[in-house]
Chains A and B, each alone.
Chain A
Amino acid sequence: MTKIGLEVHVHLNTLRTKLFCSCSACYVGKDPNTVTCPVCLGLPGAIPVLNEEALKKAIMVAVALNCKIAPKLLFTRKHYFYPDMAKNYQISQYDGPGSMAIAKDGIVNISGENVRIRRINIEEDPAKSVYPTGSMLNSNYTLLDYNRSGVGLLEIVTEPDITGAKEARIFMEKLRSILEHLNVCDCEMEGSMRADVNISVEGGERVEVKNVGSSKDVEDVIKYEIARQRAAITQGIKILRETRHWDNDRKVTIPIRLKESEEDYRYFPDPDLPPYEISDNYVKAIISEMPELPDNRAKRFVKQYEITEYDANVLVMEKALADFFEKSAKYYNNYKKLANLLINDYLRWLNDRNLKIADSKATPESIAKLMKMLDNEKITIKIVKQILPEIIDGKDPEEIVKERNLIAITDRSYIERIAREVIEQEKEAAKAAKNDPRVINYLIGKIMKKTSGKADPIYTREIVLQIINEL
C-alpha cells in the first residue's frame, strides 16, 4: 500500500513582526539584508522573546486541527551547520526531555477519510539562500539574505495516512482554507506554504521530496514518485531511503545529497526561552475569539442558503470564493443558481487561466445584476457565459448588454422563422432528431449560432420540437 505523509511549513506572514524579535515579518520585495537585527542575525548575546500573537495563532491552528494542546510552551535548539542559520541552531520544538511540541494528536477529515496530525511545532525560518546560477545543484557558492531569518513558521506533520496524490492535494487545500479562515497565513504569497513529502510504495523504503511549493506540485510530486518507485521495484531495483529535490521546470524529482549529516541534531531545551504556561483559560479565551472554520461555514451555507453540501464544500475550500458568494448573496437571492454560476463558470474560468480569485475585478453587485437579467429573460444563459469574462474584467453587465445589443430574443415568430430556415438546410438531421434528443440539441445549437446566442433557449426548444413533429 502506498503511504504518504506530509510535513507542511506555514509562514506566519500575517504577523507584523518576526517570531523572536521586533523586525518586520514582511520581507518580500525588500533589498537583501535590510530587515535584520542582532536576534535574527544570530549575534552572540542577543536574547529571543516570543511574539505573543504567534502563540495565539498556533493555538488556533491546533484547535482547528483537533489537536491536544501542550500545557507549557517550550523551545528546543536544533543544531546543524548550514549557511542559512548563523547561530548554528534553529529554535524549534521537539518531543524529548524538557521539551514538547505546542500540539499533538490531531485529526483532519478530508472527503470522509481521517488524516491524523502527529504534531505542530512553532519554529523560526532560516535565511533565504539564493543560488547564483539559479539552481542549488550547480552553484559553487550560496548568497544569503537574512531578511527571512526568524520569521515565524508552523510545522504541521501528518501521520502517513494519505493514500494518493489527489488526497494529498485535497489535504493541502483544506489546510490552506483553514489557515486563511483563521487569518494565520496569506497563502497567496509565494512560498508561504511549503511541504516536504514522504512517499513509500509497497516493497520500498521511504523517500522524502523536500520543499514542494504548492498543492498542485504536491500532487505532481506524488504521482511522479509513485510511478518511479513502482517501475524501479518491478525491475528489481531497490528503493532505499533518500532525499530528493523537485525540479519544477522538468517536473521530475532528482536525488540530492546534503552535506550536513542529519542524524544528530543534539536537541536540547533553549536556555534563552524559559517555559510559558498555557492555561486552560488562556486557550478558552483564544477559542472564544476564533473566526468561523470552513467545515462550520459549509454547514451554515447548507442551512442558511439551502445550497447542496457539495456546493457548500467547494465554496469554502477557498475563503475568497466563499466571501464573494456571501457578498453576492446580499444582492441576489436565488442562492443555488448563484453557487452554480460561481463554481461552474466563474471559478472554472479563473482556474483555466491560472488566475486567482483576487485577480477578478467582478463585484458582487455586477454578478447579481447579471443573474437578475437572466431571471427576467433579458439575456440567455449563453450570453451570461459569454460576457462573464468581461464582468471578471470589471465591466458592468447592463452596459455590455446595451452596447452590444445582447438582449434575449423572445419574439416567437422571429425564432420560428430562423428555426424553419435551419431545418430546411438540415433536412437529414431534422429527420434523425425525431428519435434522437442529441440531434435536437444540434439543431438548437445551429439556431443559437444564427442568433448569436440570443434566442431564448426554452422557446427555441419548444419551437424546434413543434416543427419536427410536423415533419
Chain B
Amino acid sequence: MKVIVDDNLIKRLERLALIEIKDVEKEDLKKDLNEIIEFFNKIDELDLSKTEPLFHPIESGKLRNNVESPSLNREEALSNVKRKENGYIIGPSTVE
C-alpha cells in the first residue's frame, strides 16, 4: 500500500490523534513520516507471496481463572487524576 505523505495526511493524523500540529512542526513531521515509511517499504523488496502474515510473535496466549483479587483503594486509583468530584473523575462533555 502506497502512502503519500502530504498536508492531507497530516490533517487526518491531527484529527485522529486529537492534537494540534503547528505549521513549523508539520514539515519535520512529514520528514519523519517519510523516513518511517521508507524503512517499512524495505519489506516490499522481499517475495512474501508464500508467507503467512504474522500478527503475534507468541503462538498461544493464556487464560486467567475467574478468581477475584483486591482492587486499588480509591485514593490510589485516583492519585493521577487532576479534576475530581465526589469520588468521580471529571471529564469533558460528550455531545456537541
Contact = CB atoms under 8 A, between A and B. Distances in A.
Interface of A: 15-17, 22-24, 31-38, 41, 49-55, 73-74, 79, 81-84, 97-99, 129-130, 136-137, 139-146, 256-259, 261, 264, 266, 269, 271, 273-277
Interface stretch (B20-28, B31-39, B43-51, B86-94): B86-94
Given A24-B71, A83-B92, A137-B95, 7 more contacts: A49-B62, A52-B64, A136-B95, A140-B93, A143-B91, A257-B95, A261-B15
A51 B94 contact: no
Contact of B92 (A98, A142, A146, A258): A142
Query: Which secondary structure dominates where chain B touches chain A?
Result: loop
B54 to A, nearest CB: 9
Contacts of A146: 77, 89
10 contacts: A23-B71, A24-B68, A31-B87, A32-B86, A33-B74, A55-B63, A136-B94, A143-B85, A145-B89, A258-B96
B8 interface: no
B56 interface: yes
A312 B67 CA distance: 38
B15 to A, nearest CB: 7
Contacts of B53: 97-98
A264 B16 contact: yes
B18 interface: yes
Given A36-B72, A82-B94, A83-B94, A16 B67 contact: yes
Given A51-B66, A130-B88, A144-B88, A274 B58 contact: yes
Given A22-B69, A33-B74, A144-B89, A49 B94 contact: no
B89 A143 contact: yes
B40 interface: no
> What are the 7 closest A-B residue pairs judged by CB atoms, nearest first?
A83-B91, A98-B55, A274-B61, A143-B88, A52-B63, A53-B66, A22-B69
A32 B87 contact: yes
Contacts of A24: 68, 71
Contact of A142 (B67, B78, B91): B91
B91 A34 contact: no
A15 B77 contact: no
Contacts of B91: 83-84, 129, 141-144
Contact of B18 (A23, A81, A136, A269): A81
A99 B87 CA distance: 37
A51 B18 CA distance: 33
Contacts of B58: 274
B88 A259 contact: no
B60 A15 contact: no
A119 to B, nearest CB: 19
B73 A141 contact: no
Nearest to B81: A33
A16 B68 contact: yes
A208 to B, nearest CB: 15
Nearest to A53: B66
Contacts of A143: 85-86, 88-91
A97 B68 contact: no
A257 B96 CA distance: 6
